[in-house]
Amino acid sequence: MASFPALMFFLLFTTFLNSGCESGKVLVYPVDGSHWTNMIKILEVLHSKGHQITIFRSSNSWYISESSPYYTSITIPQEKPQNVESQTYMTTFLRKTLEDRQYQGTLWGLFEFYRNFFNLIQGNQQVVANLAASIIENKTLVKELNQTKYDVFLTDPVFPAGVLLAHHLKLPLVLNVRWILGGDAHYPIAPSPLSYIPVLFSHNTDKMSFFQRVKNVFCKGMLVYLYYYISNPPYQALCDRYFEHNVNVMSLMQGADLWLMRTDFTFDFPRPTMPNIIYIGGFQCKPANPLPADLEDFMQSSGEHGVILMTLGTLLSDLGPKVSEIFAAAFANLPQKVLWRHIGEIPATLGSNTMLVKWLPQNDILGHPKTRLFVTHGGTNGLYEAIFQGVPILGIPLIFDQHDNLVRMEAHGVAEIIDITTMDVQSLTNSLKDLLDPTKPYKLNMIKLSRIYRDQPIKPMDKAVFWIEFVMRHKGAGHLRTESYQLPWYAYQCLDVMAVFGAVGLFIFTFIWISCRCMFRCLTRMKKSKVE
């Protein structure tokens, strides 16, 4: 009996010791909007492991709240909101993108598409760069941060202020990433041949015809332009002002310790990778929880036909009355019930089988056995949930990478894509019926994909947390980083070596050629003199 208190003490002591040893300080520079919704999931888990988390946010943050049980925040004053923090800007951007689709396939359409996108990025990069500058300029803040002795800097580098701050504070850098400022995050570190790796906005798969490869190279060219002339300049100005010679934001990014890549090969096409890339695509997926009673009743009332779930994201819920009428009329044609996340006026053609809601627990509904189909705009968060829960997809791509994401799903045989600007009730009904047809392979393909996705030795979230803690324990992960990023481009491609080989080859060839010519001339001269 006497040993009981001793045992308790021992247990308490070891718990204390463990948490004392392993808990660390994490500094985070997140990106607002849908990028934040998955960054916060990682922060919640890091917090539950006893780590102290501090995040940067701007005074105009849209999704990122100032106070939270999971972190303390540092709010940086910002005069005007970033484009991606502004609902008005994003709504206008969406309208413009959809309007421009009428010129699809023409040179003008292409020009307008890229102009619209470049404008959004340009405005945003400048504001984010100013934000980074105002942090670096604030000597009191930098001193405080420096004295706090953080163990790791975690950031999403699509707007790379965090990358600059990590360099300034000399902290090990972990990226939670899918995109960087010039396209797919693999490009700066892993070999990415354009022959089988589709580029953002190309809508290609990994099997490309000659003309699709032409398109791929063209799209890559546009991204290179985006990087050098639009994204990079505001950050280069900061690097030149505050950092040593020869530093640029790309080289800082390439020097990151670890890339937590938000993709998975049940989603993306297979491609070359690197030792410091850890794949965590779909890390936010969880088994479904039971539904609230009213939703559960609705699901059960669908009988054998089941339920269609329709949601087009937070920002994009209201696409105007015309589009809503088409959806409502097409849904009314079906024997299934429909659960539709809808903000805006109630459509006149709404059928009795359709229920409109302002908010819904998406993952729990996708995981419900009655759910038959997911109608989505193709944001990756939703697509991974659909893969995880095994629900086929009707994709209605709107902006950004959504079309390219859905092309991947289509290539896996689990989705169809429909264009919101050209669809009518008939074409939409046909696509819905097609996807719901039990003789078609969509559902089976998705279940297969789901089984593969779930069959991993370590859950993606555990992997993410393990590797962040790994970097904290070892003060970096430099041993996983290839030397490629230190090389100038001609050395990376070995062009200098090839040039030397070429020169030597040319020299030998010329030497032999000249010798042969001389010999030939001597011989003919000798013959001539003999004849004479």
Question: Which residues make up the interface to ligand NAG (CB under 6 A)?
Answer: 77, 138, 140-142, 144, 146, 168-169
Q: In terms of CB distance, is 77 or 290 closer to ligand NAG?
A: 77
End-to-end CA gap in the chain: 128
* Per-residue buried b or exposed e for 298-333, using 16+ beta carbons within 10 Å of the residue's own CB: bbeebeeebbbbbbbbebbbebeeebbbbbbbbbbe
Residue count (the chain): 532
CB of 435 to ligand NAG, least distance (A): 53
Q: In terms of CB distance, is 89 or 243 closer to ligand NAG?
A: 243
Rounded Cα distance, 407 and 404, in Å: 5
CB of 135 to ligand NAG, least distance (A): 9
CB of 80 to ligand NAG, least distance (A): 16
For 440, other C-beta atoms within 10 Å of its C-beta total 15
Tokens of 330: 């097409």
CB of 173 to ligand NAG, least distance (A): 15
**Burial class of residue 195 in the structure, from the number of CB atoms within 10 Å of its CB (0-12 exposed, 13-18 middle, 19+ buried):** exposed
Dump the DSSP string for 82-112. -GGG-HHHHHHHHHHHHHHGGGTTSHHHHHH
CB of 146 to ligand NAG, least distance (A): 4
Q: In terms of CB distance, is 132 or 177 closer to ligand NAG?
A: 132
CB of 170 to ligand NAG, least distance (A): 7
Q: In terms of CB distance, is 110 or 142 closer to ligand NAG?
A: 142
CB of 136 to ligand NAG, least distance (A): 8
**How far lies 69's CA from each of 28, 44, 48, 221, in Å?**
15, 9, 11, 44
Rounded Cα distance, 153 and 173, in Å: 5
Q: In terms of CB distance, is 138 or 484 closer to ligand NAG?
A: 138
CB of 79 to ligand NAG, least distance (A): 12
Q: In terms of CB distance, is 240 or 496 closer to ligand NAG?
A: 240
**How far lies 348's CA from each of 211, 308, 310, in Å?**
44, 20, 18
CB of 65 to ligand NAG, least distance (A): 18
**Burial class of residue 480 in the structure, from the number of CB atoms within 10 Å of its CB (0-12 exposed, 13-18 middle, 19+ buried):** middle
Q: Give the strand pairing for 179-180 and 183-184.
A: antiparallel
Q: In terms of CB distance, is 131 or 260 closer to ligand NAG?
A: 131
CB of 281 to ligand NAG, least distance (A): 34
Own/partner pairs, 398-403, CB within 8 angstroms, 24+ separation: 398/94, 398/97, 398/98, 398/312, 398/313, 398/316, 399/93, 399/94, 399/97, 399/316, 401/179, 401/200, 402/377, 402/378, 403/201, 403/203, 403/378
CB of 247 to ligand NAG, least distance (A): 14
CB of 36 to ligand NAG, least distance (A): 22
Dump the DSSP string for 28-68. EE--STHHHHHHHHHHHHHHHTT-EEEEEEETT-SS--S--
Closest to 117 in 3D by CA, of 431, 528, 342, 401: 401
Closest to 169 in 3D by CA, of 188, 152, 189, 190: 152
Do 308 and 334 form a contact (C-beta atoms < 8 A)? Answer: yes
Q: In terms of CB distance, is 134 or 430 closer to ligand NAG?
A: 134
For 527, other C-beta atoms within 10 Å of its C-beta total 10
371: β partners: 307
CB of 74 to ligand NAG, least distance (A): 6
Q: How far is CA 475 from the centre of its chain?
A: 26
Q: In terms of CB distance, is 28 or 360 closer to ligand NAG?
A: 28
Tokens of 69: 């049980």
Q: In terms of CB distance, is 142 or 418 closer to ligand NAG?
A: 142
Q: In terms of CB distance, is 164 or 277 closer to ligand NAG?
A: 164
> Can you state the angle between helices 161-169 and 232-242, rounded to 10 degrees?
10
Q: In terms of CB distance, is 168 or 481 closer to ligand NAG?
A: 168
Q: In terms of CB distance, is 144 or 294 closer to ligand NAG?
A: 144
